[in-house]
Amino acid sequence: MRTSFLGALGALLVFPALAQTPPQPPAVPPPSVRSPAMDACLMPKTPPDKRISACTSAIESGKLSDIDTSKAYNNRGIAAHFKGQYDRAIVDHSESIRLRPDYAEAYSDRGNAKLAKGLYALAVQDYSEAIRLRPNWPSYFNNRCFAQAVLGQTEQALSDCDTAIKLAPKRTATLYDSRGYALVRAKKYDPAIRDFSTALEIDSKSASSLWGRGFAYLRKGLADKAKQDFATARAIDPAIEYKMVDLGLTAE
């Protein structure tokens, strides 16, 4: 066995005493070298294809710290998501998390990609980890609310949406749209109508809020109001009906 071999070797050899040296502080990694590529990678307004190229160049330069490399992977994942390349986005977000396990935004962004693929339970797991790491961020609660509502976990969903609205610095249509959807899934149609109407006061072009309110009207037997909301939603987004059928909100 190796232990016995080393023990025998030690009995045969005598080593001179080694001078004691003071412990050295851990090496500090050099800071990242910022470059035009990294600047473009970090810029949200960079077009997706250019952003993917810029992030790739920054990553492959070998001049980034682990933290900045993690950011580059995450931003490349966001650009891939924007192009509908959800699997590629998930791979990049996962690499970002591997390099920086405490990166809450990477968990949330990976959750968004999983949500887009219809992997709702897995998205909830990622949003939960993002919330654990950053418990006061409203978008994490809002997104988990929506994913849980799709899964039919309406009680948990409504709790998350309430938290998101309380934490948000200002009212946004997305927050009320998500809670409206959770209320519809819970068959609470009157408060759902109020939330969708609030969302539409903030953003009158929200096709999902119009469709959701139309669905709630329909379930209350208010067919004329439902028909009007459905028609307005279709005019804004011709594909809205197909999107909402996947979420359980049909026009019938």
Ordered DSSP codes for the chain: -HHHHHHHHHHH--PPPPPP-PPPPPPPPPPP---HHHHHHH-TTS-HHHHHHHHHHHHHTS-S-HHHHHHHHHHHHHHHHHTT-HHHHHHHHHHHHHH-TT-HHHHHHHHHHHHHTT-HHHHHHHHHHHHHHSTT-HHHHHHHHHHHHHTT-HHHHHHHHHHHHHH-SS--HHHHHHHHHHHHHTT-HHHHHHHHHHHHHH-TT-HHHHHHHHHHHHHTT-HHHHHHHHHHHHHH-TTHHHHHHHTT----
Asked if residue 142 belongs to a domain, the reply is: no
Query: What CA–CA distance (Å, rounded) separates 68 from 100?
Result: 10
Asked if residue 22 belongs to a domain, the reply is: no
Dihedral (C-alpha) 137, 141, 142, 146: value to the nearest 10 degrees?
160
Q: Are residues 128 and 163 in the same domain?
A: no
Instruction: Specify the pLDDT at position 252.
Output: 85
Q: Are residues 183 and 126 in the same domain?
A: no
233: tokens are 């939603």
Q: Are residues 112 and 203 in the same domain?
A: no
CA 133 to chain centre: 13
Q: Are residues 130 and 39 in the same domain?
A: yes
Tokens 């999983």 belong to residue: 114
Q: Are residues 129 and 181 in the same domain?
A: no
Instruction: Specify the pLDDT at position 24.
Output: 53
136: tokens are 């006061």
Query: What CA–CA distance (Å, rounded) separates 60 from 69?
Result: 9
List the CATH number of the domain containing 183: 1.25.40.10
**Of 100, 135, 170, which residue constitutes the final position of a domain?**
135
**Of 71, 106, 135, which residue constitutes the final position of a domain?**
135
Mean of pLDDT values over 148-176: 97
- Domain residues for the domain of 50 are 35-135
CB 152 within 8 A of CB 146: no
CB 180 within 8 A of CB 209: yes
pLDDT reading at 60 higher than 90: yes
Asked if residue 140 belongs to a domain, the reply is: no
pLDDT tens figures, 173-224: 999 999 999 999 999 999 999 999 999 999 999 999 999 999 999 999 999 9
Asked if residue 24 belongs to a domain, the reply is: no
Could you write out the DSSP letters of every residue in 65-99? -HHHHHHHHHHHHHHHHHTT-HHHHHHHHHHHHHH
Q: Are residues 78 and 124 in the same domain?
A: yes
Asked if residue 125 belongs to a domain, the reply is: yes
Q: Are residues 168 and 123 in the same domain?
A: no
Query: What CA–CA distance (Å, rounded) separates 104 from 83?
Result: 23
Asked if residue 167 belongs to a domain, the reply is: yes
Q: Are residues 95 and 186 in the same domain?
A: no
Q: Are residues 226 and 171 in the same domain?
A: yes
Asked if residue 180 belongs to a domain, the reply is: yes
Query: Which pTM was predicted?
Result: 0.84
CB burial of 127-136 (b: ≥16 within 10 Å; e: otherwise) equals bbbbbebbee
63: tokens are 């001049």
Number of independent structural domains in the chain: 2
Instruction: Specify the pLDDT at position 32.
Output: 53
pLDDT tens figures, 130-141: 999 999 999 999
Q: Are residues 102 and 167 in the same domain?
A: no
Instruction: Specify the pLDDT at position 246.
Output: 87
**Of 74, 102, 135, which residue constitutes the final position of a domain?**
135
pLDDT tens figures, 5-53: 233 323 323 323 333 445 555 544 455 556 899 999 999 999 999 999 9
Mean of pLDDT values over 230-242: 97
pLDDT reading at 120 higher than 70: yes
Q: Are residues 239 and 167 in the same domain?
A: yes
Instruction: Specify the pLDDT at position 3.
Output: 35
Q: Are residues 106 and 159 in the same domain?
A: no
Instruction: Specify the pLDDT at position 34.
Output: 65
Asked if residue 46 belongs to a domain, the reply is: yes
